[in-house]
Chains A and B, each alone.
Chain A
Amino acid sequence: MALDLSRFQASGLETCFHDRHIGAQIYAGLSGKNWRLADYQARGGYQALRKVLGIDGGEPMTPEQVIAEVKGSGLRGRGGAGFPTGLKWSFMPRAFPGQKYLVCNSDEGEPGTCKDRDILQFNPHIVIEGMAIAAYAMGISVGYNYIHGEIFGTYERFEAALEEARAAGLLGNKILGSNFSFQLHAFHGFGAYICGEETSLLESLEGKKGQPRFKPPFPASFGLYGKPTTINNTETFAAVPWIIRNGGQAYLDCGKPNNGGTKIFSMVGDVERPGNYEIPMGTPFSKLLELAGGVKGGKKLKAVIPGGSSAPVLPAHTMMDCTMDYDSIAKAGSMLGSGAVIVMDDTRCMVNSLLRLSYFYMHESCGQCTPCREGTGWLWRVVNRIEHGEGRADDLTLLDNVAENIMGRTICALGDAAAMPVRGMLKHFRDEFAYHVEHKTCMVGGGAHKHAHAHATATA
């Protein structure tokens, strides 16, 4: 194809290379042109790996020391669950005689989230270095980075970075002359949200349909090809080099207790400056909103979905009291999730918003578990008829009931992910749904908005 598409391609200026990060570690110093190995090394890249391996004099760190440092950092999984990373690493059977695997989950498809794309696109070596250190700590010799198929250019970028690292002796056999060997490969998905779920991702890596596995056994004992496997998110691995260079305590001090370090938030929806913002854990939401230029068009904040589309929505007043960390958002009744912050202004109809999310979960349910396969469609049908003025008096109770009967009754968390937005919406915006049922129309936006409803859902 001879087309020059450059004018339609994002430069990263809006999402990544602005000056509105606070204390950036992962995005620090990036320009879009400095993703190559030499640039990364000029930023201090691969010093952490050298330190771990004792390349520049000094004793090599033991795997136990590396894990202890990560445990002390308070780093928690950046993919959504927030599980302590050091603890997860300590689960890997150290003495296991056979092959073990390390997997990076870059299948970033949680609606609202676009942080890992910018890490892999503009700073790929930070992920390679973090994975190499993790592999050393857990005695792993082979790893895969599973990258969202929709960001194919980023997958190719990561492949190019791998080639550079191999040529420089930073990956492969006897890395930098040490006795540590680690082979790392890139893998791409091809359009399945479910593959962000770790056991589904493993099935997909094995060349199958991405249908989740029962847990237990957990991947640490039965993972890729049935071998012990550790899976972490891209941003989690990207945090590791800084921790090794500066110490776990310093990382913890960047954030707040139990919520160490910086975190990248994808500010999307109704904000003036959508983009990724790397800020210390525990930063007030009001500050983050300010960094993103406030609500678009000076409108009033109505609601925020604080952790990707699966997180329960929170009303403006609750959100404005939150700090951006796992514990504060959980206490408010939602979750920090992947760090995607979907902002909605006061002209937004919650019925219409939920309808689009419910369609998504119906579309992406893998079909394995009955409560999810049938329940997600049921939720969508009920929300759809409410949206179209055909809601029935007991529909809100029905939605409560269906959501409750999906929650906790499926193999993986997609069922919960479909149910939680419904429960959150009904908890905080029940009046709006009730108004739709009773008056067969929307309480926000007026007539033009009603028309938009019909239009938006006709194609759904």
Chain B
Amino acid sequence: MSLSESTKARTPTLGAATLERFSKEVAKFPAEQKQSAVMACLTIVQQEQGWVSTEAEAEVAAYLGMAPIAVHEVTTFYNMYNQQPVGKYKLNVCTNLPCQLRNGQTALEHLCSKLGVEDGGTTADGLFTVAKCECLGACADAPVMLLNDRQMLSFMQPDKLDELVAMIRADEGKAA
């Protein structure tokens, strides 16, 4: 299959509801500055699809009138965009100094060992991805972590981490 054929063969992954969300972001900016909405659009894509694929980048680029590579630059520059699929629950644990002083590193290690993954790894069942991250801006609540980019969870000592994992597993119908 030639390159052009493969491009044609792609079907759009973004539905009308997604494009409606995009349009609300675009409306914040001057008409000739639609590109300003790129971060918000990519964030919406990630929320709906779990990650930002090359195909999705191309669709965002087309929507905003940008070069696909300019969208890709944004995806790769900002830490929170997932450039490949991740577990259904992405857990980012802050280990920066203020958190480290309050057991942030311990929290990360506890979670990794409990789930049997390395830092940055995903569990075999695809349920969890665990990765350390930089300052979340909630240092007085240390140790802190972020669940799926949007939920800040505070004071996550090992017992709370156990509770969280058990709750998610129960919700997914799996044994704790």
Contact = CB atoms under 8 A, between A and B. Distances in A.
Interface string A103-120: 000001111111011000
B101 A185 contact: no
B140 A190 contact: no
Nearest to B149: A152
A267 interface: yes
A340 to B, nearest CB: 7
A410 interface: no
A260 B139 CA distance: 26
A274 B80 contact: no
Interface string A278-308: 0000000000000000000000000001000
B87 interface: no
B149 to A, nearest CB: 6
A266 interface: yes
Contact of A206 (B33, B81, B151): B33
Given A207-B70, A456-B105, 9 more contacts: A8-B153, A14-B141, A110-B135, A111-B135, A185-B29, A188-B40, A207-B74, A225-B33, A356-B97
Contacts of A93: none
B107 interface: no
B66 A207 contact: yes
B154 A309 contact: no
Interface residues of A, number: 67
A10 B135 contact: no
Contacts, number: 194
B38 A207 contact: yes
B39 A9 contact: no
Interface string A142-179: 00100011111100000000000000000000000000
A10 B154 contact: yes
Given A15-B141, A459-B119, A190 B39 contact: yes
Contacts of B70: 207-208
Contact of B150 (A112, A152, A356, A456): A152
A337 interface: no
Nearest to B70: A208
Interface stretch (A72-80, A357-365, A383-391): A357-365
Contacts of A225: 30, 33
25 contacts: A5-B147, A5-B153, A8-B163, A9-B154, A112-B135, A113-B137, A113-B139, A149-B149, A150-B135, A150-B137, A150-B138, A151-B138, A188-B40, A190-B42, A191-B79, A191-B80, A206-B36, A207-B33, A207-B36, A208-B73, A225-B33, A342-B98, A353-B97, A353-B100, A364-B134
Nearest to A150: B136
B108 interface: yes
A10 B108 CA distance: 19
A185 B102 contact: no
Nearest to B27: A185
A22 B153 CA distance: 28
B79 A108 contact: no
Interface in B90-138: 95-98, 100-102, 105, 108-109, 119, 132-138
9 nearest CB pairs, A to B: A191-B79, A191-B80, A207-B35, A10-B154, A185-B28, A8-B153, A274-B140, A269-B101, A209-B77
A225 B31 CA distance: 12
